Structure 1
Amino acid sequence: MNPLPAARAVVDLLRDEGVDRVFGNPGTTELPLLQELARDGDPDYVLALQEFTAVAAADGYARGTGRPAFVSVHAVPGVSNALIGMNNARRSRTPLVITAGQQDQRFLRDSPMLGGDLVGLAAPACLAADEVHTADDLLPMFRRAFARARGVPSGPVFVSVPMNLLAQPAAGPIPARPPIVTLPVATGIDEAAALLAGASNPAIMAGDRVGATGALRELTAVAEALGATVYPQPQYEHVDADTEHPLTAPAPPFVGSEINKALAGHDALLLAGASIRSHLWTPEPPLPEGIRVVQLDDDPAEIGRAHDVEIGLFGAVGPTLDALAEALRGLPGLHGPALERAGRISAELVPERTRWRERARAAAGPAPVHPAAAAQLVADALAAGTVVVEEAVTSGPLLRRALPQRGPGDYHNSSGNGGLGWGIGAAVGLHLAHPGRPVLAFLGDGSAMFGVQGLWTAARLGAPVLFVVVNNHEYRTLKDSLGRQFGGMDLGDPAIDWVGLARSMGLSAHRVEHASEIGPAVRAAQESGGPRLVEIPIRGYGDGAP
């Protein structure tokens, strides 16, 4: 009996790993694999016009399904285009397996077109990168890649496969899946509880490891037991804290001096799966002098990486927070002070949250719309259960204040990683992961242009995603950071026709002329059952509610 072709065995392994979609942009060096995928359409092939879109869509799909997603790119050019998405996934700890077709080994020595050091190119953007050299290694290396991608920390893993190996007979059976190892509860719970309970004004910075692992309930229990102000981490990517909870404050801007200002007056801080990475250097460090820090993370390399830490907790985030909440509830004398602090905090935070949203709504007017009004009116009009993807560097913080975020998986962002263009593809991937839920992509015009070709993939799939582009005709974040005196930041001459651009890729599109149109446009788009784009011209200055 003839053995299976290696490419078919790889497809069987993918199915065994739970892969039901392959995201990619095809090329000659992947043809044996593409032929097998086309044989029966399982896994389904999600076609992107450029590799960054494919990686971004896979990123969104992995976030939505909770399992590694698979991406196929093409040789040196494909890996080069995919690098931004791979680096985003590495910083976000999104589990991906990315493969690229390498040139045929039989003439690699001649430096053929498309051939090159794919591993060297991909390695800095991945947890691990390797090239298959023999048919015997092909299946074991793919199995190992999936295990590493879903490990701790999770993230993208790259495998380069020479084209000739895919066309050879498979060598040996598909290896068994290795067991998934889970982390235990961290040690040092009692010491951490004692330190936090001894503070007069404790705070919690809720990080993306809380949101990514679905540990909101446990985080809330710690906050309530302690009577602590909760700050979502700057430029957060997930729902790390219930934004409507009376103890939740707005996330600080991701600038060291602003983080310091927010935490000033707190004498103890729990960094709960949080990573503080500032955007700009400032003389003031992010953490105020003298604050006592407990840090919890499921990656030991994060603990004490950038800040002095008195107690480090390495373990599973949710179970460790659960144990910490139980330890706090068991401390004598804490309940009364915690209740008093919680009352004082909520009396300040809840009315200010309401006032901010009221001021934002009151700022509505003709286009260009005040950016806070645009964010608030979009948030007000969204259908229940909408999954929100946000990639609007300057308007995004306004949406995060306007938008109730209460459940794991309700909100996603990646712009804190710096690789813009992620949002459109990620929204498509999240739709595929949650076909029964509406999806919104809230995008700045500058960010959206980095990944605009993803609109075509949305149209091809008929994905009912609403793309809202808030258009200020500029790289606003640069003007905020560096001042107006620098050139090259304006996008209004010639102006990009977002409605025409979207229609050219197969979407329905509408441009808002007055803030009063925003709610009806959002509702109509979400009720349409297809992909739509709504452009909202916004003011270039005056960010923040008036």
Structure 2
Amino acid sequence: MYTTGTAFLEALQEAGVSYIFANLGSDHPAIIESLARARQVNKELPTVITCPHEFAALSAAHGYAQVTGEPQAVMVHVECGTQNLGGAIHNASRSRVPVFIFAGASPYTQEGELTGSRNEFIHWIQDVPDQRGIVRGYTKYDNEIRSGTNVKQLVFRALQIAKSDPPGPVYLMGPREVMEEKAEPVVLDKELWEPISSGAIAPRPLQELAEALATAESPLIVTSYLGRNKEAVSELVRLSETLAVPVIESIPHQMNFPHEHPMHCGSEWNTPGQNELLAEADLVLVIDSDVPWIPMKNKPAAEATIYYMDIDPLKEDMPLWYIPSRKFLKVDSCTALKQINHYMAEHHGLLDAAAIEKRWDRFAKIHDQQWIEKHRKEQAETDIITPEYLTACVREAIDEETIVLNEGITNYGAISNHIGVNVPGSYYGSGAGSLGWNGGAAVGMKLAKPEKTIVSLTGDGSYLFSVPSTVHWMSQRYNAPFLTVIYNNSGWKAPKMSTLGVHPEGVAKQTEGFWVNFDPEADLAKIAEAAGGAHPIDVKERTALKEALKEALQVVRNGKSVVLNVRIPHVYDNEDYTKEKGKYEMEAES
């Protein structure tokens, strides 16, 4: 029997969806029966990835879309499964990742009137007034499938919206009776459901911006996620080299600009002090960045001219957001940069060769000096494994066929500044604020790019948030091995630092009462071993780190996940490495 459920699955296949990350429930009999029938007759449908937790399912779809740009499907169980998506849907929304989410719904008949009518007590308990409302604040589109006659149109429309700039998650739901309904096959023309075309700069603002860049004495570019389009990276490099414009990455969650390039002048996280380059710039071009700076800590000069280019320049989903920009341009960054570069090539007379050469010499020296300072931090004379040293060791161990994930939280800045990535598509952060993205995302990226080595750098808190038991079960079952490196400081350092930022000399500091430590410590690596056969490695001594990384990468490349649990200074020691060293020596003696 050809049902709405059959047509729904066909629509996903025809639209180009490769995987369904599924946590199935009592509302999915039509889906399960259609999948079983398809398998029986060798009918091609998206591959189902069974996910024991919904957060990991959506994080995997998130990671897949980050490296491919293609939305995958996530299937969850009514409103309970929808709620279990939790922070993962916040992450997909805030990082503008296209994802298709489908949830069943409680049956709307209860006496056997239709196929799929209520036959379990849970169908009353899980019937809620506004299931779609649970995620409406995080989706671009939500709807209910009410008939099999137009289910393919609804799926194609949802995916069209998900992929159109700014991309994001979409949500459909369907009750059992509708999904069991007999339907007639329909064939749609995929080309008629393509996402909207990318935006470009209108001629007058293009001229204004290009001439302002060309005549500025001290221009600066700030970006966070321009590298979502790999081609945009080369266009940014071209513009930077043409005008000798330095680039700063603010909370980067893509590889936006080669770290070895002389015009790369570092990245920033929750930087407590003023960035001198930002303060002295007379023109700041912000490209694809939600938080280019934190005004109460670090901002441009009041007289600086700011231009803002972004796929989402108004941040309509953020109630409080503004920067003093002269122009807000809703554009695709790659398209816009091509326009600017073409304008510069056609109006070469605007460029001051002597000024450009002088800027190049200056910022190249700043870049070199920054590298010297980074190297000093990495090689600090101590037996303790610092975040900088750990990141440097990872940098030395990986190659250009590696994708690095960064969910280091309080070590985010250390990782982004010391990982030294230079290849577009080689580095990702979640781009959002709900911890735990790293695990599922690593599985999704490995499924999307099986030829790559996936290395996830995470704090111990964000590792636990990722539902590692589910993640590593998925990794083993679906042959998606990856390396997790835990920056283990035995607690949540972020709440402590936030408290000190507001109450620097408060009672919490005086009494060390932050309620953030994880003592006694869990055996984090063995969680993954027990759940998914991952290879556990614990490292407490600096001298053992490089060899442990070498072993870990070899095991991963041979097809088995590894969790490398590395002890860094305790959350309560706050970079007091002398105190930490003494603690370790006492532990060793005992």
Tell me which moved more, 284-293 or 144-153: 284-293
- The answer to whether the 8 Å contact 1:361/1:377 transfers is no
Where 1:409 maps in the other structure, the secondary structure is coil
Give the whole-Å Cα distance in 1 for the aligned partners of 2:292 and 2:145.
35
**What is the TM-score normalised by the length of structure 1?**
0.92
The 1:326–1:97 alpha-carbon spacing in structure 2 relative to 1, beyond 3 Å, is same
Letter in 1 for 2:153: P
Q: CA deviation at 1:273?
A: 1.8
The one-letter code matched in structure 2 to 1:342 is: W
Q: Pick one of 89, 92, 97 that aligns with 1:89.
A: 92
* Residue pairs, 1:483-502, within 5 angstroms: 483=500, 484-485=508-509, 487=513, 489-502=515-528
- Report the residue type matching 1:294 in the other structure: Y
Contact 2:252–2:416 under 8 Å retained in 1: no
Match of 2:567 in 1: 537
* Alpha-carbon offset, residue 59 of structure 1: 0.4
Contact 1:85 1:422 in 2 (8 A): yes
Query: 1:443 is matched by which residue type in structure 2?
Result: T
TM superposition shift of 1:171: 4.3
Q: CA deviation at 1:364?
A: 5.7
C-alpha distance in 2, partners of 1:468/1:176?
A: 45
Q: Counterpart in 2 of 1:404?
A: 420
Instruction: Please state if 1:268 is matched with 2:283.
Output: yes
Is the contact between residue 198 and residue 331 of structure 2 (CA under 8 Å) also seen in structure 1? Answer: yes
For the aligned residue pairs, the C-alpha RMSD in angstroms reads 2.5
Corresponding residue number in structure 1 for 2:126? 114
Structure 1 residue matching 2:405: 3-state secondary structure: strand
Partner in structure 2 of residue 321 of structure 1: 337
- State the Cα distance separating 1:264 from its structure 2 match: 0.6
Residue 290 (structure 1) aligns with: 303
User: What's 1:521 paired with?
Assistant: 548
Contact 2:408–2:415 (8 Å) recurs in 1: no
Alignment of 1:353 with 2:380, yes or no, is no
Separation (CA, whole Å) in 1 of partners of 2:525 and 2:328: 51
Aligned pairs for 1:251-266 (under 5 A) are: 251-254=267-270, 258=273, 263-266=278-281
Structure 1 residues 499, 183: closer, same or farther in 2, change over 3 A? closer
User: Does structure 1 retain, via aligned residues, the 8 Å contact 2:285–2:306?
Assistant: yes
In structure 2, relative to structure 1, the CA distance for the partners of 1:441 and 1:545 (3 Å cut) is: farther
Give the deviation of 1:105 after TM superposition. 2.1
CA contact (8 A) 1:239 1:409 kept: yes
1:66 aligns with one of 69, 85, 89: 69
- Counterpart-to-counterpart distance in 2, 1:387 and 1:286: 32
Distance 1:284 1:520, change over 3 A: closer
**Given the superposition, is the C-alpha separation of residues 357 and 42 from structure 1 closer, same or farther in structure 2, using an over 3 Å criterion?**
farther
Partner of 2:139: 126
Deviation at 1:487, TM superposition (A): 4.1
**Aligned residue identity for 1:227:** A
1:234-292 CA-partner distances (Å, limit 9, x unpaired): x221111211111111112245x6466551111100111222176xx764574431210
Structure-to-structure mapping, 1:97-112, within 5 angstroms: 97-107=100-110, 112=124
2:274/2:297 contact within 8 Å kept:
no
Matched, 1:372 2:388: yes
Question: Is residue 216 from structure 1 mapped to residue 243 from structure 2 by the alignment?
Answer: no
- The correspondence for 1:334, drawn from 332, 348, 352, is 352
Q: Check if 1:241 corresponds to 2:239.
A: no
Please list every run of at least 4 consecutive aligned residues from structure 1 whose deviation after the TM superposition is greater than 6 angstroms: 108-111
Q: Which amino acid aligns with 2:14?
A: D
User: Partners of 1:260 and 1:400 in 2: how far apart?
Assistant: 16
Larger displacement relative to structure 2 (294-303 or 56-65): 294-303
Partner of 2:518: helix, strand, or coil? coil
Q: Give the SS at the match of 1:276.
A: coil
CA contact (8 A) 1:29 1:162 kept: yes
CA distance in 1, matches of 2:534, 2:287: 41
Structure 1 residue 133: Cα displacement = 2.2
The aligned runs of 1:196-235 (5 Å cut-off) are 196-212=213-229, 214-233=231-250, 235=251
Q: Percent identity, please.
A: 23
| Partner AA of 1:17 in structure 2 | A
Q: Structure 1 residues 34 and 259, CA, compared in 2 at 3 Å: closer, same or farther?
A: farther
Name the SS for the 1:251 alignment partner.
Answer: strand
Return the match for 1:51 from 51, 54, 57. 54
- Greater radius of gyration (CA): 2
Describe how 1:359-438 pairs up with structure 2 within 5 A: 359-363=377-381, 365-366=383-384, 369-414=385-430, 416-438=431-453
User: Structure 2: how far apart are the matches of 1:105 and 1:144?
Assistant: 25
Work out the CA distance in 1 between the residues paired with 2:230 and 2:274.
24
Per mean C-alpha deviation after superposition, the further-off stretch among 326-335 and 266-275 is: 326-335
Q: Give unmatched runs, 5+ long, in structure 2.
A: 111-116, 501-507, 579-590
- Give 1:393 shift: 0.3
Q: Is the 8 A contact 1:383 1:523 kept in 2?
A: no
Task: State the distance in 2 between where 1:487 and 1:277 align.
Answer: 33
Shift of 1:312: 3.2
2:164 to 127, 130, 151: 151
SS at match of 2:171: strand
Q: State whether residues 231 and 249 of structure 1, in contact with CA within 8 Å, keep that contact through their aligned partners in structure 2.
A: yes
Is 2:25 the counterpart of 1:27? yes
Structure 1 window deviating more from structure 2 (136-145 vs 153-162): it is 136-145
CA contact (8 A) 2:269 2:412 kept: no
Are 2:3 and 1:5 aligned? yes
User: What runs of 5+ residues in structure 1 fail to find an aligned partner?
Assistant: none
Shift of 1:307: 1.0
Per-residue deviation, 1:85: 0.9
Going from structure 1 to structure 2, the CA distance change for 1:363 and 1:139 (only over 3 Å counts) comes to farther
- In structure 2, the CA distance between the partners of 1:388 and 1:489, relative to structure 1 (3 Å rule), is farther
The CA deviation string for residues 54-88 of structure 1, in whole angstroms up to 9 with x for no partner, is 00000001112221111101111111011311111
1:406-458 alpha-carbon deviations (Å, 9 max, x no partner): 222111111x5210011000011001111001000111000111112312211
Aligned AA (1:236) = P
Matched residue count: 537
- Deviations along 1:456-477, one digit per CA (max 9) or x if unpaired, are 2112223220011111001111
Which moved further from structure 2: 347-356 or 70-79? 347-356
Deviations 1:30-65 (A, max 9, x none): 232133234427321112221000000000011122
* Cα distance per residue 1:473-529 (max 9 Å; x no partner): 011111122135474533332211113212211211010131222222222222222
2:584 is aligned to none
Contact 2:216 2:282 in 1 (8 A): yes
